[in-house]
């Protein structure tokens, strides 16, 4: 186990950025950036031992300063959508940026993936951790409360990437943190993921309107193209004549995850690619997961000069449900002053 550092460039604001490269005993590498706490590289072996980067992204900090798709991104204070770009805390209405039609997406034009973070490194015998932290001040992005934030990335010798979130605020506030990495188990820039097979432990999605805003109701996946309870290729039903798929231009939906024990870190999803044998399992303690088939990537140059296209990756964004701030029956998304928020998501890689 170990971690090395390299200079990753200077931001437009003159901030020098550092890339932290974690390597385990199997040769797996995870690289994370102190600008935005972004995940830049996830390099894992295939069934023949060949190492490949399976995470879409950029070669320079300039790419991450733009990063419209949110490659590798740490998103908050409230990831996903807020209806009408407003919500109420303690009887007071707060308005945030409208950057998705009349709604707010990922907290507006500057999510947590566009700030600099302080860094600490922790090394154990079988794991290494890079921890990023910062203070999100009161009314940053329009959200109340000074919030101390920590996100840590741990690489283990079991080929696990463990993401841990911690937050505490001095006022009652709202939050919904996620990671927006785009995965392609054939390797970033190596074509479509429609041939990847996926499994999701979920019986329901949150019902949405035409703008993908949850209404507070639920839709059963039973007998629909949204059903991934039995592993199938992502492309099998993606073009089906089904309203939610038409609204999302493919998969872009929050799955209500099944947990044996509420709040426990449990396996909720799996991704498999046959030609490489690579497998990724997803574990989380959060109640929801946005399953997004990268429908809106448009002929963009990524790492190594490779060109990314629509549906060249898949996202598994563990989260509280979108628009939970405006739907009292939805779980989570609110934090009392002084209350500590902690959450864990794990991406575990193997071969079959």
Active-site positions read 180, 317
Going by the DSSP 8-state scheme, the letter that residue 306 receives in this structure is P
- Work out the number of other CB atoms within 10 angstroms of the CB of residue 305: 8
One-character DSSP codes across 137-201: -TTGGG--S-EEEEEEEEEETTSEEEEEEEEEESS-EE-B-EEE--B-TT-TTS--STTSEEEE-
The residue among 339, 349, 348 whose CA lies nearest residue 167 is 339
Sign of torsion over alpha carbons 245, 249, 250, 252: negative
Residue 58 phi/psi, 5° resolution?
-125, 160
CA distances from 194 to 2, 8, 94 (A): 35, 32, 40
Structure tokens at 139: 């009314």
**DSSP-based three-state secondary structure for 131:** strand
SS3 content of the chain, % helix, strand, coil (to 5): 10, 45, 45
Q: Bridge-partner residues for 99, per DSSP?
A: none
């Amino acid at each position: 186990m170990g971690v090395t550092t390299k200079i990753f460039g200077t931001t437009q604001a003159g901030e020098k950025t550092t890339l932290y490269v974690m390597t385990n005993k199997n040769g797996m590498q995870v690289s994370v950036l102190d600008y935005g706490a972004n995940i830049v590289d996830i390099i894992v072996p295939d069934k023949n031992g060949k190492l490949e980067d399976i995470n879409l992204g950029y070669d320079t900090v300039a790419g991450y300063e733009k990063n419209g798709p949110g490659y590798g991104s740490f998103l908050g204070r409230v990831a996903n959508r807020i209806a009408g770009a407003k919500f109420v805390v303690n009887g007071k209405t707060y308005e945030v940026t409208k950057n998705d039609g009349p709604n707010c997406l990922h907290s507006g034009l500057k999510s947590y993936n566009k700030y600099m973070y302080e860094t600490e490194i922790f090394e154990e015998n079988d794991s290494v951790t890079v921890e990023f932290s910062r203070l999100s001040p009161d009314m940053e992005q329009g959200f109340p409360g000074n919030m101390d934030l920590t996100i840590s990335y741990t690489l283990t010798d079991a080929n696990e990437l463990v993401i841990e979130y911690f937050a505490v605020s001095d006022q009652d506030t709202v939050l919904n943190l996620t990671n927006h990495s785009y995965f392609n188990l054939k390797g970033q820039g190596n074509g479509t993921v429609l041939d990847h097979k996926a499994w999701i432990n979920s019986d329901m999605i949150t019902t949405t309107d035409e703008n993908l805003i949850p209404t507070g109701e639920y839709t059963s996946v039973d007998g629909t193209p949204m059903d991934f309870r039995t592993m199938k290729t992502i492309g099998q039903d993606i073009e089906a004549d089904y309203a939610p798929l038409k609204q999302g231009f493919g998969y872009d939906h929050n799955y209500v995850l099944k947990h044996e024990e509420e709040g426990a870190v449990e396996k909720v999803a799996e991704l498999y690619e046959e030609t490489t044998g690579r497998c990724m399992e997803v574990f989380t303690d959060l109640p929801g997961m946005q399953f997004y088939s990268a429908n809106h990537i448009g002929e963009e140059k990524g790492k190594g000069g490779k060109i990314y296209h629509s549906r060249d990756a898949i996202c598994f964004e563990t989260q509280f449900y979108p628009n939970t701030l405006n739907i009292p029956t939805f779980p989570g998304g609110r934090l009392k002053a002084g209350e500590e928020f902690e959450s864990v998501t794990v991406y575990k890689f193997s071969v079959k």
